[in-house]
Structure 1
Amino acid sequence: MTDFAVPENTVVTATAELLTRVRRQTPLVQCITNDVVVNFTANVLLAVGAAPAMVDIPEESGGFAQAAGGVLINLGTPHAERRAAMEVAAVSAQQAGTPWVLDPVAIGALPVRTELAHRLYDVGPTIVRGNASEILALAGAGAGGRGVDATSTVGDAVRAAGEIAQKTGGVVAVSGPVDLITDGRRSVRLANGHVWLTRVTGGGCALGAVMAAFAAVESDTFAATTAAVLVYTVAAEQAAAVAGGPGSFAVAFLDALASVTGDDVERRARVS
């Protein structure tokens, strides 16, 4: 495959435009996510300018996925009914052309979520978002990390990310100190963010919902995913500058998401 890095000015310009579009269009994002992050995820979506809908029962999830602008499927707490809702929603979203994000939380060592992740992977997610160990496990090249924590580096997962992107025809975002986003042809690395995102429950999971919101307003999924990560991580840096620790950071982060601008992105973006 041909893989080339996208220029920084292209990324920054697209991000500013897509942030404006999200706030103008207020996309509806269906979230089938884990128990411990529901409230934070909803607040993150509201802050960035989208509208959350936590529709996660099988009888409703399919129809809603067809009507929503984007869908997040997060495997953090995959109870039986929620697993069924995820599979119904994924198939319905795929059939309707609704962009959907798969976040294969903690797959590899745990059998129920690992099997579910591979079934969802076969449906063809628009975006896959995970840490390096999760991406390797999804590609069949690793045994997973330590629970939700990665034991592999982003560099270790570059090949696996490209393979997943080629199979799905979508985009893979690998989180780490420097995030990698690839569609198998284009790639970008973003060095923004702050360690306190890893010390707030939902700091990573909510990003998948923001990706769904940006994909809802932009058909170029690579551009949408890159913009979502950049807005999110720049806002994290702004929040950390005024916070005293993880607790105040969580509040400041919501404020920063609501106020971050294209100019802020241009000043802070670290793109390679």
Structure 2
Amino acid sequence: MNKDIIQKVRDQSPLIHHLTNQVVMNFTANGLLSFGGTPIMAKAEEEAKDMASIADGILLNIGTITAQELPAMITAGKTANEKGIPVVLDPVGVAATPFRTSVVKEILNTVQPTVIKGNAGEIAHLVEIPWDTKGVESIGDGNSVEIALKAAETYQTTAVVTGETDVICSENEYLSNNSGHPILEKITGAGCLLGSILTACLTTNEPIEQQVLTAVEFYGLVAEYAADYSEVSGPGTFFPHFIDALSFEVDKLEKLN
């Protein structure tokens, strides 16, 4: 983990333009604010170009995508590419329906993502590797490294495959992260918020592998720390401690270990 990346985010408070799903907006905004970034949620096509033009990073999350929202995502993504700011694509539930698959294909045909982040089932679907899924969840088993490598090569991007072990692949090399806690699987939008924090980390001027690894490692460490509170007995009591811990210094979080 590169602690300088986290400090730079907190010093600069980058504006992250979220075109994300309805379910997670509040959680994502509060989580990013706690971490140190500045969120804005804007999905209107009429302002997508203007909003992306003033942002420091763009998050495209298709969790509750509609046909009417797709043009705004493409406009924001293309504007970000022209401006040279990071774009994170989170293809939530891409394997669930043909509509979601077509949406992500259209985005990838017109926007160059800096990072594609998803669970193994989602990323496997993008590179036509068989993997069992259930709605937006990945329930299969296989080689996450193979999936990440193929996605990075296919889409000329950095691929992040999340799971019990997170796998990060860029330019035929991969890194892994084992921090985290199973309770995250019981929190709606945990992966979506990770996408937001990842986008914020990408706004720093550090190597992309360090940016991505720092985001996922810090996020997992926060979950471990929050889950360790004696009063945490399930997802409901975990939730506020997790939001709090996103604002903590790395040294404080590491004392748990």
Percentage identity across paired residues of the two chains: 35
For residue 250 of structure 1, the aligned residue among 229, 239, 248 is 239
Q: Distance in 2 between matches of 1:142 and 1:57?
A: 35
| Unaligned 5+ runs, structure 2 | none
How many residues end up aligned between the 2 structures?
254
Q: Which residue of 2 aligns with 1:95?
A: 82
Pair 1:177 & 2:148 matched: no
Higher relative contact order (CA 8 A, sep 6+): 1
Q: Distance in 2 between matches of 1:221 and 1:145?
A: 29
- How far apart are 1:220 and its partner, in Å? 2.2
| Unaligned 5+ runs, structure 1 | 1-11
Q: Distance in 1 between matches of 2:184 and 2:103?
A: 27
For residue 261 of structure 1, the aligned residue among 241, 250, 254 is 250
**Which structure shows the higher helix fraction?**
1
TM-score scaled by length of structure 1: 0.88
Q: Distance in 2 between matches of 1:30 and 1:251?
A: 24
**Residues 5-16 of structure 1 correspond to what in structure 2 (within 5 A)?**
12=1, 14=2, 16=3
- How far apart are 1:265 and its partner, in Å? 4.5
- How far apart are 1:27 and its partner, in Å? 0.7
Q: Which residue of 2 aligns with 1:131?
A: 119
SS in 2 for 1:133: helix
Q: Which residue of 2 aligns with 1:149?
A: 137
- How far apart are 1:165 and its partner, in Å? 1.3
Deviations 1:66-109 (A, max 9, x none): 32111110010002222221111111111111101000011123
Q: Distance in 2 between matches of 1:136 and 1:171?
A: 14
Q: Distance in 2 between matches of 1:69 and 1:142?
A: 36
Query: In angstroms, what is the RMSD of aligned CA positions?
Result: 1.7
**Residues 200-215 of structure 1 correspond to what in structure 2 (within 5 A)?**
200-215=187-202
Pair 1:82 & 2:69 matched: yes
Q: Distance in 2 between matches of 1:266 and 1:202?
A: 27
- The answer to whether the 8 A contact 2:120-2:147 is kept is no
Q: Distance in 2 between matches of 1:251 and 1:36?
A: 17
Deviations 1:178-220 (A, max 9, x none): 1111113332111111111111111111100101000012352
- The answer to whether the 8 A contact 2:18-2:41 is kept is yes
**Residues 23-34 of structure 1 correspond to what in structure 2 (within 5 A)?**
23-34=10-21
TM-score scaled by length of structure 2: 0.93
SS in 2 for 1:216: coil
Q: Distance in 2 between matches of 1:158 and 1:134?
A: 14
- How far apart are 1:224 and its partner, in Å? 0.9
- The answer to whether the 8 A contact 2:159-2:168 is kept is yes
Q: Which residue of 2 aligns with 1:160?
A: 147
- The answer to whether the 8 A contact 2:144-2:167 is kept is no
Q: Distance in 1 between matches of 2:255 and 2:128?
A: 37
Q: Distance in 1 between matches of 2:157 and 2:209?
A: 8
Q: Which residue of 2 aligns with 1:117?
A: 104
Amino acid at match of 1:161: A
Q: Distance in 2 between matches of 1:218 and 1:210?
A: 15
Change (3 A) 1:186 1:217: same
Q: Distance in 2 between matches of 1:267 and 1:224?
A: 23
Change (3 A) 1:91 1:196: same
Change (3 A) 1:93 1:104: same
The list of structure 1 runs, each at least 4 consecutive aligned residues, that deviate by more than 3 angstroms after superposition, is: 262-268
